[in-house]
Structure 1
């Protein structure tokens, strides 16, 4: 890890990952990229951590996207597959993630927010896929079709114009809105709601959603049943109904 990306492992099982270059609008410069790769790896490997929240330092930017100066210096054409840390693409995570968008999320900033499973946004946040404005492209946006309607996606990509947090919420890109000073509080509340569920059930649910976006109906049903077997046969699957019958909180073991 480096100080460009901060990592807080909380006792409640939540990891808070913070992009920490506010003076550079938390752009995806080299040390941010390296720090994010390390942070996602640390989160995935730590069995005590169950949910991660990704946010940015300051109140101006979540992440302003790629470093255009670096692209000029490197005469960058097609970005190498391993250049940017993107869960669901070149990073595999088995646990849920939440983007807490505190400011602008433009281009690569939208990319890493989109790659999280859930999104909470400050009312002052803005989102944009700005690649058309600088002659670049946004192939990473392809999965967006599973989140928002086609014609809205088309307009966002073809115009490069920013949308407000409220608009992002209306089209289904954002799960919850929060006043700027309440952003992390709302993100932590959402994470806590996930933590209330049995770990293996949460993992199976995550798999079910992802399978459903990649397969036809019958194939997704079959794959989701297979993905749920471990949860059904776990100790927690017996503990949950028992706790309900005894009117107490379940004690999850994750096995």
Structure 2
């Protein structure tokens, strides 16, 4: 376990759990949180013993309330720098080939929606709420759109952005923003159940599979199919592919090497 002033990093079996430690500020984002999350994702991606990452917030009130507006510094960037903190975190998540799972334990607002959207899978408490309230303070969720726009129907996204009004967990599930809902007291159990469905699969197939999913997302058909043609042969060359097919023929459980 590693305790950062802003981020708790815990190893739970083959999963790395990242918990934003700002419960008194509803786990709002600041520079320290962004830096710590980016480092943690980069380190996890380089550790072959880590199979998945779970992202959540401390307590039960909020997953992440977005930028910490109380500081008065949240949107004062150094514009001489072309890369900014939240965008860099989204870039790091995009490069990551480990499954990222959002454990949404409460309010998920503004930049918190970006953290949710940068994850590959999400489990939410039934009392969670979701929203993009930036227009209420004269702003707009511009950076968040880069990771959120393909995860929601356009009319739903427009409504969230333009009205600033939140939606409940049931509507978030119906819209495809999260994979599953759980009672608050059963949230960890639901996350562990999802992890179990991932961790018995081939590490190399998941790693290369996430890479492929992310590469083809914005490609046209001809580009996507050409890229896929180049990838399928590489999948077949892995030790896991050979082992998985042998296990299938021999009617036994595979023994993955992750290579």
- Tell me what 2:31 maps to: 30
Name the SS for the 2:149 alignment partner: helix
- Tell me what 1:198 maps to: 202
| CA deviation after TM superposition for structure 1 residue 102, in Å | 0.2
Q: Cα deviation per residue 1:78-103 (whole Å; 9 max; x = unaligned)?
A: 88633226654254212110101000
Contact 2:124 2:169 in 1 (8 A): yes
Name the SS for the 1:215 alignment partner: coil
Contact 1:2 1:31 in 2 (8 A): no
| CA deviation after TM superposition for structure 1 residue 199, in Å | 1.3
Gaps of 5+ in 2: none
C-alpha distance in structure 2 between counterparts of 1:75 and 1:201, whole Å: 40
Return the TM-score normalized by structure 1. 0.91
- Tell me what 2:238 maps to: 234
Q: How many residues align?
A: 253
C-alpha change, 1:156 and 1:134, in structure 2 (3 Å) is same
Of 19-28 and 143-152, deviating more is 143-152
C-alpha change, 1:230 and 1:9, in structure 2 (3 Å) is farther
C-alpha distance in structure 2 between counterparts of 1:231 and 1:110, whole Å: 33
From 144, 153, 156, the counterpart of 2:157: 153
- Tell me what 2:58 maps to: 57
C-alpha distance in structure 2 between counterparts of 1:45 and 1:105, whole Å: 29
C-alpha distance in structure 1 between counterparts of 2:10 and 2:28, whole Å: 20
* Match status 1:7 vs 2:9: yes
Structure 1 consecutive aligned stretches of length 4 or more whose deviation exceeds 4 Å: 77-80, 85-88
| CA deviation after TM superposition for structure 1 residue 145, in Å | 2.9
* Match status 1:123 vs 2:120: no
Q: List aligned pairs for 1:97-246, cutoff 5 A.
A: 97-140=100-143, 141-246=145-250
Of 131-140 and 159-168, deviating more is 131-140
Name the SS for the 1:84 alignment partner: helix
C-alpha distance in structure 2 between counterparts of 1:33 and 1:161, whole Å: 25
| CA deviation after TM superposition for structure 1 residue 245, in Å | 2.4
Name the SS for the 1:186 alignment partner: helix
Contact 2:99 2:210 in 1 (8 A): yes
Name the SS for the 1:28 alignment partner: coil
Contact 1:211 1:224 in 2 (8 A): no
Name the SS for the 2:5 alignment partner: coil
Return the TM-score normalized by structure 2. 0.90
Name the SS for the 2:8 alignment partner: strand
| CA deviation after TM superposition for structure 1 residue 53, in Å | 0.6
Contact 1:121 1:183 in 2 (8 A): yes
Contact 1:22 1:58 in 2 (8 A): yes
Name the SS for the 1:89 alignment partner: helix
Name the SS for the 2:194 alignment partner: helix
Gaps of 5+ in 1: none
Name the SS for the 1:146 alignment partner: coil
